[in-house]
Structures are given as C-alpha cells and as structure tokens.
Amino acid sequence: MTQDGGSVKAFTETPFDYLIIGGGTAGLVVAARLSERQDLNIGVLEAGYAIPDDTPAVSVPGRWGEGIGTEYDWQFETTPQKQLDGRKLPWPRGKALGGSAALNFMIWNRPSSDDLDAWERLGCKGWGWNDMLHYYKKSEKFIEPDNKAKLEHTIHYDREAHGTEGPLTVSFNKQHSVPHQYWHETLENLGVATNKTHMSGSNVGAWTSMVAVNPKTATREYSATSYYRPVKDRKNLTVLTGATVQNVVLEQSNGGDWMAKGVRFEHGGSNYVAHASREVILSAGSVKSPQILELSGIGNPSILDKANIETKVVNKNVGENLQDHLLTATIYEIDPSVPTLDDLRTDPKLDAAADEEYKTHLSGPRTLLSCSIAYIPLSTLVPEAGIPALTSHLSKSTDSVSKAIATRLEPSANGGHVEYIFDVGNWNPFTPVKPDKKYATLLQILQYPFSRGSIHAKSADPNEAPVIDPQYYENEGQIDREIQLHAAGFGQKILETEPLKSFVKGRVWPPPGVSKAEWNDWIVGNTTTDWHPVATCAMGGKEGKEGGVVDERLRVYGVKGLRVVDASVMPLQISAHLQATVYAIGEKGADLILEDARE
C-alpha cells in the first residue's frame, strides 16, 4: 500500500527486511519481486508522489514530453559545459512513482549482444547477453500486431525473443505519422537494410520501434502501472511517497566492518529513520544514487571534505565514469498540408478534436510516437582512412573501461554507433521557425560516448542538487564531436535519398550551405542530452573496488547489506534507449537479492 504523511510514524516502526530507496523504474521492479516472498517485509521510500491516472501529460502517448519540467521532474541541470559554449543543459529526471519512465518517449528496444558481452569481458560475470536475455523477456508482456499492421508499417520481430507473461505491456504502435511509410525504403536505397530481428542481439539497421504502450487502453506503461499497481495491496509491501532520503544509516562493527542498517529521510519537514534487518537497496538512478552514497560517507575523501561530509568508506569511483548519449536535431521544411503535433500546439480546435478522438476511439494524433529508427555502425559513417584521426585523441589510460571504449573505434566494430530517428514537427528549440511553415526533425544520437564526466554531492544538504558535469566533448570526447560531424553528413544523405527526398523541401537548421567549420559550431551550439546517463555507480568487474562502486552482485564495496540496482551500475554505455535494460537490471537485481537471502 502507499502511505501518506499520516502514516510516516507507522512506516518507521515497521520491521522491514529490505528498504528500497527510490520507487522508480528499477526500484518498483525490485519491490514487486521481493514482495512475492510473503515472509519478507519490503519498504520503499520515494521522494515524489504517485501520478494520478487522469494526468494526460504522462498517460497519453502523444503528449510525450509534456511531463518534463513539471512537479514530476527533478529539473536538474548540468554545470556550464566548456565545449558547448558554456551552456548549462536541462537534465530531466523522474520524481514520481515510476521514475523517469513516466517522462520518457516510450521507445522500447535492446542493445546489441556485444554491448552486454563487453560488460562480461570487463569481469561482470553473469551480465552478458545470454544471461540478460532471460531478464529482458521476464519483464515483457508483448502484444503482437495484426498482419495488416505488419504490412502497412513494415513491422518485423522475432517472436521467440520476446516475453509474453511479464508485468509490462509492450507493443507496436497502431498508427504512425506520414513519413514513416518512406523510412525503410529510403534507408534501403542508402544500403542500410531493414533489421527484421532488431531485439534479438543486433539492432544495426533500420526498423520500426516497439513502445511501452498498452494497445488496449492506448496509455503509457511504466513501473508504477505495471509492476506496482497490481501488487500494491500486498500486506508485506509499503511505499512511502514524499520522502526525501538524507543518507543510509551505517554502523561499524567491532571488527571495523561497515553495515547498512537503515535510512534517514525527511517527510513533511520532519526527520525520521527507518530500519532494515537484511539490506538497503539504492535505486535512485544515475543522478541521485551516487549523491546518496556520498551523503552517507561513501566516496572520494576529497569530494566529501569539500561537501563537509565525514568519510566512512573510501571509494574514488563513486559518481565518476558518467556516460550519456549526445543528441542533435536537424530541421527540414515540409509541405504545410502535412499534419504534425505542432498543429495541436497552435490550433485550439485541432487540439480539442485530437483529444476527443483519443477519448472516443483511442486513435489519432494523441497515440502517435516516433518509431522510425536506424542504428548505423561507425564503419558506415567514417571511412576507414578517417579512423586514425579519431584514434589520435585517445589517451594512454590503462583502465579496463577506457580500453573497452577504445575498441569501439576499431574498423571491425559493428555496433550501432549513431541512432537516427525521423518524424514530423520541430524538435529543436533553437530553430528559427516561421509561423506559416511546417517542419520535420532528424534526431542524431551518439550511442558510444568517449565523453566521460561525473556527478557529485555539492554539500551535505540532501535537498541541494548534485553537481552534474558530463564533460561533453572534453578530453577524449573530442572524438564524439568529430563522429557527430561525420554522422551529420550521413544524416544529410538520408534526407537527400528518395522517397524522403520528395517529402522534405530542404534543410532549414542548420541553414543550407554551411561549411565544415560552421557545422562544427552548429553541433557545439545544439548538442544536448538524450537523457540516458549511466555508470556513476558502475560494476567494478575484474578491477573490483579500484574499477567500480559495486561488484557483479551489485553489492557496494566496503559495506555489508547495501546494494545499488539501477542504470548507474552499468559499466559501459549501450547502443539503445535505456528503459528495457533498466527493467532487466531490476529483474536480475531482485534475483540476486533473493538468491543471497536463501543462503
């Protein structure tokens, strides 16, 4: 059950076996799975609140993006980025039951097998593709499209690769915007084949994406609706919302070992402590999880000293190794007769009509999502002769993560280095738009970043946002900027190839005829986050504590009874949108916890 402020005292007096910090994507997966054991008592602390079902900005697919900047968003921002003209970037993160999956664009895909096998090569035993596929399938309830939809929308999939009995319903959209019909043929004319098994170990090529949408209700699926709601009345599961975690309660044994015993939190202006007899599980995401570890005295002494926090467990990797996907959006003019979501934002009558169609028929513009996807390997974007120019920026780092990232520049590497998404509407806030024009957007998203930054507590105050410094395009990140330049060239080819060539009138942002130097300046001025931060509490693999924050069973080095289960444990970025992988991490994390509970 979900408790309100009047039940805080009861929450603190409950003898929990496990306390979960964060009721987001992974946290609610873990809560649901652990509470299947009736002999275990599970508590969840969530800073945000449950989102009412009648919140269109979250539940209605075609209103994607409207939840960003609301009360359901932490509304973080980065430090000024040196290589982005000193710009600070907004970093939306979900602050609600269900976490960031309540705000995302609902794309449901998986990385290529080698992305996860790379984790295992780093020493993260049990985290390769063959092990993780079970957990991807375990989370899914895949609803197959009918034959008519398959034909009309170029839908392909490998039925055996999907789960059909999991909590979270996933599907293919029933309707698509106008240019989707041209996507596959255009890419094929460029030599990029349609990938008919894009969820089965290689996502390279063009495909129609799945989405986290229930086709029966045409509503967003996320962990609050799929994992939590069906089990919320379990007597051994209690969720407390509106609870801001201050730190993990650590106690030291006579032998000097640190142990997690509970959680300090604030609720309604008062401070409380809740206790856990077995474990505390940190599932607060790639931004908050490292901050909470540091607030608890776990981290780099130099960072903690500056924040006026006592160091209890030294680990210089906490908050480091931050990797994010980098996005730019080029804009093209299209025929003014083509319907776009921009129409609904400017015409109240069209907006009302779309709402009525959705309410009455569960169809129309309010159901549309961007599903025209292509993942392109580096070998297609950069001629082999151009690779030495990229590798010249590589440092002489000898740590295993740096070496693993460097292998992604090898000519034989065949992962999807850059993702392209095309749809109608203007997605770039910097575009100089004209009121009588209509636009379409080509998103270009770099998947394997060399840019690596950090997230750290600024002070001992848990209400103060952490310092987020992705260091986009800095140091080895120069490679990212150069790949983005090459990728922009390939993106231009996409829109110069039929049949999409006939659909667009021409590029308007950046303006036609820009030089290479001007393209570079445009990339610097337009790059933003794709909201996929990982690795700030990464698995250490073979290097153990020297290389990470948690071991392969997600246990925090140097502390008994404390784990991290969320996207922050990923040691390397993947070529995919994160949500399906985060659900799989939650499923595997729950299994690891339950396995250890039986010992």
User: How far apart, in whole angstroms, are the C-alpha atoms of residue 453 and residue 324?
Assistant: 9
User: How far apart, in whole angstroms, are the C-alpha atoms of residue 261 and residue 249?
Assistant: 5
Torsions phi, psi of 551, nearest 5? -90, -175
Q: At what angle do helices 113-121 and 129-139 cross, to 10 degrees?
A: 130
How many Å separate Cα 362 from the centre of its chain? 27
Query: So what's the pLDDT on residue 1?
Result: 60
Does 360 have pLDDT greater than 90?
yes
Does 374 have pLDDT greater than 80?
yes
Please report the sign of the dihedral spanned by the C-alpha atoms of residue 198, residue 204, residue 207, residue 208. positive
- Supply 562's token pair: 């404390």
Give the CA distances from residue 294 to residues 31, 316, 536, in Å, rounded to whole numbers and listed in that order: 24, 10, 12
Which of the four pLDDT bands, split at 50, 70 and 90, describes residue 398?
A: confident
User: Alpha helices of 459-573 — where are they, by DSSP H?
Assistant: 478-495, 500-503, 516-526
Torsions phi, psi of 113, nearest 5? -60, -35
- Name the least confident of 144-148, 206-210, 530-534, 595-599: 595-599
* pLDDT more than 90, % of the chain: 92
Q: What is the pLDDT of residues 67-99, one digit of tens each?
A: 999 999 999 999 999 999 999 999 999 999 999
pTM metric for this prediction: 0.97
SS3 content of the chain, % helix, strand, coil (to 5): 35, 25, 40
Which residue in 153, 176, 417, 532 is the catalytic one? Answer: 532
Average pLDDT over residues 556-567: 98
User: How far apart, in whole angstroms, are the C-alpha atoms of residue 482 and residue 489?
Assistant: 11
Which of the four pLDDT bands, split at 50, 70 and 90, describes residue 384?
A: confident
> From the CB of residue 316, how many other CB atoms can be counted at a distance below 10 Å?
14
User: How far apart, in whole angstroms, are the C-alpha atoms of residue 536 and residue 556?
Assistant: 13
Would you put residue 269 in left (φ > 0), alpha (ψ -120 to 50) or beta?
Answer: left
Q: How would you class 38 by CB atoms within 10 Å of its CB: exposed for 0-12, middle for 13-18, buried for 19 or more?
A: exposed
- Supply 431's token pair: 């575009």
User: How far apart, in whole angstroms, are the C-alpha atoms of residue 182 and residue 206?
Assistant: 12
Name residues whose C-beta falls within 8 Å of residue 545's C-beta, 6 or more positions apart in sequence.
315, 317, 557, 558
* Bridge-based pairing state of the strands 16-21 and 2-3: unpaired
User: How far apart, in whole angstroms, are the C-alpha atoms of residue 45 and residue 47?
Assistant: 7
Higher pLDDT, 5 or 592: 592
Does 160 have pLDDT greater than 80?
yes
User: Alpha helices of 97-207 — where are they, by DSSP H?
Assistant: 113-121, 129-139, 147-153, 180-189
User: How far apart, in whole angstroms, are the C-alpha atoms of residue 317 and residue 287?
Assistant: 14
Domain range list for the chain: 2-53+224-322+541-597
Query: So what's the pLDDT on residue 5?
Result: 47
Average pLDDT over residues 505-514: 95
Q: What is the pLDDT of residues 433-481, one digit of tens each?
A: 998 899 999 999 999 999 999 999 999 999 999 999 999 999 999 999 9
With CA atoms as reference, report the closest residue to 508 among 358, 333, 313: 333
Amino acid at 371: C
Average pLDDT over residues 185-198: 98
- Supply 578's token pair: 């994160």
User: How far apart, in whole angstroms, are the C-alpha atoms of residue 288 and residue 79?
Assistant: 16
Q: What is the pLDDT of residues 2-56, one digit of tens each?
A: 555 458 999 999 999 999 999 999 999 999 999 999 999 999 999 999 999 989 9
With CA atoms as reference, report the closest residue to 325 among 443, 462, 148, 204: 443
Contact 589, 563 (CB under 8 A): yes
**Active site includes 180?**
no
HSE-CB for 364 with a 13 A CA cutoff = 17
Average pLDDT over residues 136-153: 97
In 243-371, where do the E strands start and end?
244-252, 258-267, 270-282, 298-299, 313-314, 326-334
Query: So what's the pLDDT on residue 397?
Result: 81
Contact 404, 394 (CB under 8 A): no
Contact 483, 405 (CB under 8 A): no
Please report the DSSP string for 178-227 in residue order. Answer: TTHHHHHHHHHHTT--B-TTTTTT---EEEEPEESEETTTTEE--HIIII
Q: Cα angle vertex 457, ends 451, 463, to 5°?
A: 125
Element at 556 (helix H, strand E):
none
SS3 (DSSP) at 132: helix
Please report the DSSP string for 500-517 in residue order. Answer: HHHHEEEEEESPTT--HH
Round the average pLDDT of the chain to a whole number and report it: 96
Which of the four pLDDT bands, split at 50, 70 and 90, describes residue 598?
A: confident
- Name the least confident of 14-23, 134-143, 258-267, 379-388: 379-388
Does 179 have pLDDT greater than 60?
yes
Contact 93, 76 (CB under 8 A): yes
Q: What is the pLDDT of residues 523-532, one digit of tens each?
A: 999 999 999 9
CATH superfamily to which 2-53+224-322+541-597 belongs: FAD/NAD(P)-binding domain (3.50.50.60)
> From the CB of residue 151, how many other CB atoms can be counted at a distance below 10 Å?
10
